[in-house]
Structure 1
């Protein structure tokens, strides 16, 4: 685990912009994990280790030292980060096409879609969900709020 944290921190420092969590060293990751007992147990699972390390700087901003952070909290912070990154990409692509859209509207729509998809998957008891063809409000706008989900069995 310690080797993975060192490799992760090295890769992150190379990929991040100077002002964007660039002060996160392997030692800082390890010390921070020690401040959150629940996270220490979770990082024993390889998948959760990467997920937690990815969002640890954000978790520290949202939760006080010693807080009981659950897997649900980790997933929520990761999902929010994922949505932020992809909304920025969407807005950039739209800007290239000279289309302006409110980023908060895109974020809330994507978040609602993720919640609906997760609920539908949980409700159906399956791990794979397939969406049907997109329904358009008009020729240029997708109605993301009205996506019908179909579960693949």
Structure 2
């Protein structure tokens, strides 16, 4: 992604944008892509953004719970599916080896977590940029094995 941003800047074009410190208040399909309502968590100000594609980066907080509230069960953007997440006895969100969020319903869509998997995948998952290529490969292989041309 950063290479694309760099190449765009060299070419004087902007295909990609990064919106930091923005909470997604709503996300709706639009005629030409997706319409987002963004809220600044510091000022509370809001704005709408029409885009072709959305990539979400939720930061480096860990999934799970602790006494200080430093962890979260799911990223806030996934609160709408919270009740559909498979929860084993330990009370943590269940994430498979291939970073797929395990959902209770068998026909649920595939949801992968890029980060937030320290609890299930160990300390190396917490922002280790050197492991991002391996993580991306694991997700790509998982998707390729599950998606067929008919799906």
> How high is the TM-score relative to the length of structure 1?
0.26
- Which has the higher Rg, Structure 1 or Structure 2? 1
> How high is the TM-score relative to the length of structure 2?
0.26
